[in-house]
Amino acid sequence: MAQSSPIDVAALGVLWNVDVAKIRMATENMSTEWGTDLAHLTKEQYVGILLLMTKGALARETATGRVYSFKMLLRVECTVGSEQHRRLCSLANVEQDSKAAQPAAPADSQTFEAFARLEGLAPWATHRTAGCWGRSRLQSTVFFRDVVPNCMNRSGQRSGVCYMHGSVAVLHYAICHHTRLGDHRAVHIPSFLVRQLTGRELWRYVSDVEGGGNSMQFLQKLASPAAPDLVVLSPAELRERGAVARVVKLFKKHGPALISGFSTNDAFRGMTSFRFLAADLSPTDSDGSHAMALVGWRCAGRGDIRFLLQNWWKCKQFIEVSLAYLSSRHASLSWLQEVIKAFPDPSVVRDAPWTEFDFDGPDREAELEF
């Protein structure tokens, strides 16, 4: 099928940000290495593997080993293969996917307003400007409502995994923070991947069930090819005296933070719990690592500061936590240190107030980050 479907090499060169000569060379190598087996590939599979070969994925492997690895990637009869195949096809379909109309939010997706109506969470519905250190007065500050209105980003894109979603949202919020402009645009993950990732990085993304990445490194790569420095607070630093005040100060200076390395468990994945305040010291209940964004904080009383997390699960978009809980689940907080006022690669930016989900937290182990 692939051989009978012509490939526009020039268009792919622009889309993938590579020289067309590399694509032509990869095309010739595929023909030589795959032989008659090329006829069994769909066009999506062909284009996806052509992208990987053009970018140099598995370049150090022998031709036989490389073809074997690619064929294992296409085994859709098993769970792992299905996930890998889905990601490969998402890269192959990047052009039509990026041009597709943005879907409306599903009726059962959690909104911030619905979250604030849950029992005990009503204080999040009100913004108060008074300070609360040494006072018992209630206060909440939510970035997309109080700091830069009309900039909420809900970027659970089907082609990404949690460490990508968190980074995309934090970069978006950092730009809004420094420009003070409400904006619904966000990086279209597949477009960014095919243009900016190396062959090795693309192979890890496609072949690893967990996406083969690191949220802090991905945020740096999104923000600039020069990988700007991050302000990072480790789990140990989040347990130090004065850590709460330090987090609030950094939030005011830099905007929302990336939460990475968060150790998930059954309790957190439950769809009926939206508040976690006590330190959770269970040592053996972790089922993976997750990335989110810290987008707000509130004072629930003297010395009781709580934080608002934005998540990427359709029915669990927002969660209230204490800093003690975050640190006990081994989470780190990161902010971009550099002032960034524009997306570094405008060609990968799309208007995206809502990007479609095809999973929810309890149903998808593959979106974990290790």
Q: pLDDT digit string (tens) for 151-174?
A: 887 755 555 577 888 898 999 999
Q: Regarding predicted confidence, which is higher, 165 or 18?
A: 18
**Structure confidence at residue 358 as a pLDDT band (50, 70, 90):** very low
Rounded to the nearest 10°, the torsion over CA 104, 109, 111, 116 is 170
Q: Where are the domains of the chain?
A: 9-99, 112-367
Q: What is the pLDDT of residue 210?
A: 66
Average pLDDT over residues 337-351: 88
More confident residue, 17 or 370: 17
Confidence of residue 284 (pLDDT cuts 50, 70, 90): low
Q: Give percent above pLDDT 90 in the chain.
A: 50
Q: Which residues pair with 293 in a beta bridge?
A: 258, 310
Query: At residue 359, does pLDDT exceed 50?
Result: no
Q: Please list the residues that pair with 111 across neighbouring strands.
A: none
143: DSSP letter = I
Tell me the per-residue pLDDT of 109-154, one tens digit each, with 9 for 90 and over: 888 999 999 999 999 998 765 455 555 455 789 999 999 998 887 7
Of the candidates 147, 20, 79, the residue with the CA atom closest to the CA atom of residue 364: 79
Are the beta carbons of 155 and 169 closer than 8 angstroms? yes
**How many CB atoms within 10 Å of residue 147?**
20
Please give the full DSSP string across 241-310, using - where no structure is assigned. Answer: TTHHHHHHHHHHHH-SEEEEEEEE-HHHH-TT--EE-S----SS---EEEEEEEEEEEE-STT-EEEEEE
pLDDT over 50 (residue 361): no
Residue 277 identity (one-letter amino acid): L
CA dihedral 102, 103, 109, 111 (to 10 degrees): 50
Distance in angstroms (rounded) separating the CA atoms of residues 173 and 189: 16
- Cα torsion through 173, 174, 177, 178, rounded to 10: -150
**DSSP, residue by residue, 312-367:** EETTEEEEEE-HHHHHHTT-EEEEE-S---S-S-GGGEEE-S-------GGG-GGG
Strands 257-264 and 288-299: antiparallel
Per-residue pLDDT averaged across 257-268, rounded? 92
CATH code for residues 112-367: 3.90.70
Q: What is the pLDDT of residue 76?
A: 53
- Residue 365 pLDDT: 38
Q: How far apart are CA 202 and CA 208, in angstroms?
A: 10
Report how far apart, in Å, the C-alpha atoms of 263 and of each of 47, 235, 290, 356 are.
Answer: 36, 11, 6, 25
